[in-house]
């Protein structure tokens, strides 16, 4: 029996609010049940992610239409209807209203369903005036217009200036592109069975024209390509692993960087892929098998306690792709803007410092240690790298590189490369 797409989107949002499960995991679970037609799968995704991207703007519109705040379930139903009216031009107005009212009748009282009906019909009548009021907010409360937490917008404005903060917010609200990395162990050049465009940012990256087709191609099934944002390739390029070397990847799951390391090593040598999550390490194993990587050994180990797992083994190159605030990938992880708290940034920066300190002990003299994040926050990036360099004079900070999404056209990333001085 096919599910109702608006019902599914409503249910997903209620579950997201009640749990700590990430939005992409909830959506994958819903879509995997096979109860939705292809067009309905697209509508569910649009409504679910659309509400998350435009949450504050939709709350503003709700405040314009309701004299008293409605109950949370009723507000959510109303906002799903408003999203269709104000953001989805292809949805007929009558369908947005009628389906929202039907949803309210199933999940709220008759009076509340009547309120949803009246509010949405008023929204249609006053659409131009409401749109103008919302547009005016862009100058007075830009975080509301762009639906970002105020603290995050103010942080970016203080660190980078108003124009950069606005550009970042606008970037985050655009649907992300899908990119492939050529797996040089199995392929050279672009996939023969998928429409792609060359990406100037990196020679191995391709932008997919029709992302829904990726997982139906022989190129994907054969392991010739891996879905990966080009920004994530920078850390491995800085690591510069060579065939025959011993490499440690400290926070390896799900394996995108691990398998790129193996490809650069021509699948010769040894890679130890460590991660604190055994379940996520299984993804590393699955990706290695699909991509034809044979030199990776996985180990479940918390990165700040490597000495309990590795017993003094030294490595030519060590990668610490550290857990971070993920503020460089908010376009790709649409609900993270509502999950992250400002106080977490300091905690994560401290954790990154401990991870680097633990990894340093396993970097051979003359070896390379690379620290990377997908954060835009200076506390997690340059300041962590500088603090590590000050506390570990045996390491030389050789290079740093960062990406700014609106300028570089890829996710935000930071990479620092250290070399341990030879004894």
Same-domain pairing of 14 and 138: yes
Same-domain pairing of 114 and 206: no
Same-domain pairing of 264 and 375: yes
**pLDDT value of position 2:** 59
Same-domain pairing of 90 and 113: yes
Is 395 part of a structural domain of the chain?
yes
Q: Where residue 106 sits, what CATH number does that domain have? A: 1.10.940.10
Same-domain pairing of 123 and 271: no
Residues 6 or more apart from 212 whose CB is under 8 A from it? none
Domain containing 197 equals 179-227
Is 130 part of a structural domain of the chain?
yes
Residue 1 in this model has a pLDDT that exceeds 60: no
Is 173 part of a structural domain of the chain?
no
Same-domain pairing of 65 and 214: no
Same-domain pairing of 44 and 141: yes
Q: What whole-number distance in Å separates Cα of residue 156 and Cα of residue 167?
A: 10
Is 162 part of a structural domain of the chain?
no
**pLDDT value of position 345:** 97
pLDDT digits (tens, 9 = 90+) for 14-53: 999 999 899 999 999 999 888 888 889 999 999 999 999 9
Q: Where residue 378 sits, what CATH number does that domain have? A: 3.40.50.150
Average pLDDT, the chain: 95
Is 104 part of a structural domain of the chain?
yes
Last residue of a domain, one of 128, 145, 162: 145
Residues 6 or more apart from 299 whose CB is under 8 A from it? 272, 273, 274, 281, 309, 310
Is 163 part of a structural domain of the chain?
no
Last residue of a domain, one of 145, 162, 187: 145
Same-domain pairing of 249 and 392: yes
Q: What whole-number distance in Å separates Cα of residue 85 and Cα of residue 64?
A: 15
Catalytic residue among 169, 251, 301, 374: 374
- Residues facing 315 on adjacent strands: 363
Q: How many structural domains are present in the chain?
A: 3
Last residue of a domain, one of 145, 169, 190: 145
Q: What global pTM score does this model have?
A: 0.93
pLDDT digits (tens, 9 = 90+) for 294-331: 999 999 998 998 988 887 679 999 999 999 999 999 99
pLDDT digits (tens, 9 = 90+) for 215-250: 999 999 999 999 999 999 999 999 999 999 999 999
Residue 352: which of 318, 393, 387 has the closest Cα?
387
Same-domain pairing of 240 and 369: yes
Q: Identify the residue with better confidence: 177 or 312.
A: 177
Q: Where residue 190 sits, what CATH number does that domain have? A: 3.30.70
pLDDT digits (tens, 9 = 90+) for 246-283: 999 999 999 999 999 999 999 999 999 999 888 889 99
Same-domain pairing of 121 and 220: no
3-state secondary structure the chain: CCCCHHHHHHHHHHHHHHCCCCHHHHHHHHHCCCCCCHHHHHHHHHHHHHHHHCHHHHHHHHHHHCCCCCCHHHHHHHHHHHHHHHHCCCCCHHHHHHHHHHHHHHHCCHHHHHHHHHHHHHHHHCHHHHHHHHHHHHHHCHHHHCCCCHHHHHHHHHHHCHHHHHHHHHHHCCCCCCEEEECCCCCCCCCCCCCEEECCCCCCEEEECCHHHHHHCHHHHCCCEEECCHHHHHHHHHHCCCCCCEEEECCCCCCHHHHHHHHHCCCCCEEEEEECCHHHHHHHHHHHHHHCCCCEEEEECCHHHCHHHHCCCCEEEEEEECCCCCHHHCCCCCCHHHHCCHHHHHHHHHHHHHHHHHHHCCEEEEEEEEEEECCCCCCCCHHHHHHHHHHCCCEEEEEEEEECHHHHCCCCEEEEEEEECCC
Same-domain pairing of 114 and 201: no
Same-domain pairing of 222 and 133: no
pLDDT digits (tens, 9 = 90+) for 55-76: 999 999 999 999 899 999 999 9
pLDDT digits (tens, 9 = 90+) for 385-404: 999 999 999 999 999 999 99
**Token reading at 355:** 């991870």
Is 158 part of a structural domain of the chain?
no
Is 166 part of a structural domain of the chain?
no
**pLDDT value of position 24:** 93
Q: What whole-number distance in Å separates Cα of residue 122 and Cα of residue 100?
A: 14
Tell me if residue 374 is catalytic: yes
């Amino acid at each position: 029996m096919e599910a109702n797409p608006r019902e599914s989107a409503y249910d997903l949002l209620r579950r997201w609010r009640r749990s700590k499960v990430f939005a992409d995991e909830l959506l994958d679970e819903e879509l995997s049940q096979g109860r939705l037609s292809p067009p309905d799968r697209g509508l569910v995704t649009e409504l679910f992610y659309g509400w998350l991207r435009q949450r504050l703007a939709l709350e503003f519109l709700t405040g314009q239409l309701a004299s008293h705040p409605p109950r949370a379930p009723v507000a959510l139903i109303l906002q799903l209807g408003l999203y269709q009216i104000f953001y989805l031009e292809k949805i007929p107005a009558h369908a947005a209203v009628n389906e929202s009212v039907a949803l309210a009748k199933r999940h709220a009282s008759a009076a509340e369903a009547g309120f949803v009906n009246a509010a949405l019909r008023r929204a249609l009548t006053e659409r131009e005036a409401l749109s103008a009021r919302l547009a005016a907010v862009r100058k007075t409360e830009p975080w509301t217009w762009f639906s970002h937490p105020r603290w995050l917008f103010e942080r970016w404005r203080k660190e980078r200036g108003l124009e950069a903060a606005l550009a970042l917010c606008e970037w985050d609200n655009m649907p992300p592109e899908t990119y492939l990395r050529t797996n040089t162990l199995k392929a050279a050049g672009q996939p023969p069975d998928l429409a792609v465009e060359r990406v100037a940012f990196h020679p191995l990256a391709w932008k997919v024209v029709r992302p829904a087709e990726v997982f139906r191609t022989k190129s994907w099934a054969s392991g010739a390509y891996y879905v990966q944002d080009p920004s994530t390739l920078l850390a491995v390029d800085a690591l510069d692993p060579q065939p025959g070397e011993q490499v440690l990847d400290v926070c390896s799951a799900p394996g995108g960087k691990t398998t790129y390391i193996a490809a650069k090593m021509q699948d010769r040598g040894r890679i130890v892929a460590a991660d604190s999550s055994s379940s996520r390490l299984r993804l590393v194993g699955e990706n290695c098998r699909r991509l034809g990587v044979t030199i990776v050994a996985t180990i479940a180990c918390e990165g700040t306690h490597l000495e309990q797992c590795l017993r003094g083994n030294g490595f030519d190159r060590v990668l610490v792709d550290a857990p971070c605030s993920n503020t460089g990938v908010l376009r790709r992880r649409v609900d993270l803007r509502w999950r992250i708290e400002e106080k977490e940034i300091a905690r994560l920066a401290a954790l990154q410092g401990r991870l680097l300190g633990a990894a340093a002990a396993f970097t051979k003299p003359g070896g390379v240690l690379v620290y990377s994040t997908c954060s835009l926050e200076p506390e997690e990036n340059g300041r962590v790298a500088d603090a590590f360099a000050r506390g570990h004079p045996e390491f030389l900070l050789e290079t740093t590189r960062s990406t700014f999404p609106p300028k570089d056209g890829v996710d935000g990333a930071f990479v620092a490369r250290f070399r341990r001085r030879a004894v």
